Amino acid sequence: MSVIANLWRLARTAATFQRTGAMAEALEAMDAPRSIRIAARVLGWPLSPLGLEGDPALPPAPRALTALGPAYVKFGQLLSTRPDVAGEKIARDLRVLQDRLAPFPLEEARAQVEHELGRPVDEIFSEFGPAVAAASIAQVHPAVERETGRRVAVKVLRPGVERAFRQDVDAFWFIAKTIEFLAPSSRRLRPRAVIAHFEGVVMTELDLRLEAAAAAEFRANSAEDEGFAVPEVLWAHSARRVMTLEWVDGDPLGDVELLAARGHHLVPLGSFIIRSFLRHALRDGFFHADMHQGNLKLARDGTLIALDFGIMGRIDPYTRRVYAEILLGFLRREYRRVAEVHFEAGYVPADRDLEAFAQALRSIGEPIFGQDASHISMARLLAHLFDVTERFGMETRTELILLQRTMVVVEGVARTLDPNLNMWRASQPVVEDWMKDNLGPKAMRRDLVATAMVLSRFGPRLPDMAEKVLKRAVADATAEAAPRGLGAAGLVAMAGAGFVGALIGAAAASLF
């Protein structure tokens, strides 16, 4: 997309927010100064006719975001879980974006299923009903498998969604490059790396074969988790733009009044959601990264059912260990250790002051422990955290973006069930159990065994590798011994030392 097209896209975005009334509502929710509100109204008024009208039946914020496209809807879904950031009214209005958008026609869905699966719909399914849920990427249709009579859910991508996302992502790239050019200090936040990460996530979500694979892996990982379930994938009826899962019954997690009327205990459910997420992230390194209310149901027996696996996150074993140490340090209020972990992992430049960073972390952590969670302003806390990262030159860690984003969403979901929930207190049992299993003698033995197994795979090649290392060590020793006039014994000793050092270095590299 050209620069002119991107500028037009950004101007239309601002105009759409102005035309739908979302601009004024957002500024009010953020408690913006009166001067800024007046300036926005004066400057935005001439642009207003250029904006998209949207659906007049929707409230201002979802009306603007749905008009602008699926990438904006994704952003709205995130805000819908954070009333403490977006405000109660906007967050409540935005919940329509989770799974209650206007569906595309049933005929188009049937045509797409036939095209993707290569067979008539009526040959595969004895029933294929209208959409029961519609979101930014796809919608879900209830159906009955003809061969088995089993109820299933058929997910179908929206027509043209790939092109719409591409336009939005191109505009986001333009914004990121412009920010880096106009504000060089912003480069530590790596705007372009963030957009690259977002683009990768979105492109994966637009291939339902990958989502089906993620669902199958997530189901296998969580098979033994009591109170948590993932529906089974029907591979024979899945393709790039169509995915079929077993049908699951349950109440939407966003309907708190209904859950309470069913007799579910909401307070422990909030903690269970946080612990489930952390268990998957720390234990498996593979977690559901889009856990808003629209992707969660609660069965009559209290089982939490996860849906929609288009956005999943992965973190490697080392990052899991760092993340767990940081969490545990905050839980135990050991801020110096938290600071040390940041320095050890390279998250903070080595030339910064460790003690000053620990003091800054204390200023973030203590308000969490010092008062009831319902009185904590997450918006102010995030603003404070941003100030600290800027002061100490921390760069954005793209491998942690999904993890951090999901934590924000999960905490927001849990606090709709229990407004007084304290995420840190709910997290503690899972984090401590994981640390016991992964930072003690038991973990060291497991790491050594894993290292030995890696080395064993190179068994047939070890003699050749050792010979090459020894030859290189002899050559280096010869070159070093010549000026000193060392004899054969000294030469052999130096070569042996070099060989041993090389082996030790290879072993150390395999360990870390």
Write out pLDDT tens, residues 465-500.
Answer: 777 777 777 777 666 655 555 554 454 444 444 444
Of the residues 418, 439, 460, the one at which a domain ends: 439
- DSSP-derived secondary structure for 82-105: -HHHH-HHHHHHHTHHHHBSPPPP
Residue 372 bears catalytic tag? no
Would 13 be classed as within a structural domain?
Answer: yes
Same domain, 279 and 380: yes
Would 133 be classed as within a structural domain?
Answer: no
Provide the CB-side half-sphere exposure for 33 (13 A, CA).
3
Whole-model pTM?
A: 0.72
The residues, any chain, with a CB within 8 Å of residue 13's CB and separated by 6 or more, are 68, 72, 171
* Residue range 240-256, pLDDT digits in tens: 999 999 999 999 998 89
Question: Quick one: average pLDDT of 330-345?
Answer: 87
Would 210 be classed as within a structural domain?
Answer: no
Position 136 scores a pLDDT of 79
Residue 134 has pLDDT above 70, yes or no: yes
Would 95 be classed as within a structural domain?
Answer: no
The residues, any chain, with a CB within 8 Å of residue 20's CB and separated by 6 or more, are 51, 52, 53, 54, 60, 63, 64, 67
Position 92 scores a pLDDT of 82
Of the residues 439, 459, 475, the one at which a domain ends: 439
Helix (H, G, I), strand (E, B) or coil at 503: helix
Same domain, 60 and 181: no
pLDDT band at 99 (very low <50, low <70, confident <90, very high): low
Would 49 be classed as within a structural domain?
Answer: yes
Residue 384 has pLDDT above 60, yes or no: yes
- Total domains present in the chain: 4
Same domain, 55 and 168: no
Position 236 scores a pLDDT of 95
The β-bridge partners of 155 are 140, 243
Name the region of 118 (left: φ>0; alpha: ψ -120 to 50; beta: rest). Answer: left
Query: What does the alpha-carbon distance between residue 3 and residue 8 come to, in Å, rounded to a whole number?
Result: 9
Catalytic residue among 84, 93, 99, 290: 290
Which tokens sit at 114?
Answer: 């036939």
Position 511 scores a pLDDT of 33
Same domain, 402 and 296: yes
Query: What does the alpha-carbon distance between residue 388 and residue 393 come to, in Å, rounded to a whole number?
Result: 9
Which tokens sit at 137?
Answer: 């990427």
Same domain, 504 and 355: no
pLDDT band at 222 (very low <50, low <70, confident <90, very high): very high
Residue 501 has pLDDT above 70, yes or no: no
Mean pLDDT of the chain: 80
Same domain, 360 and 452: no
Same domain, 423 and 467: no
Q: 500 is in which domain, residue-wise?
A: 443-511
317 or 194, which is more confident:
317
Would 275 be classed as within a structural domain?
Answer: yes
Same domain, 419 and 435: yes
Position 491 scores a pLDDT of 42
Same domain, 325 and 344: yes
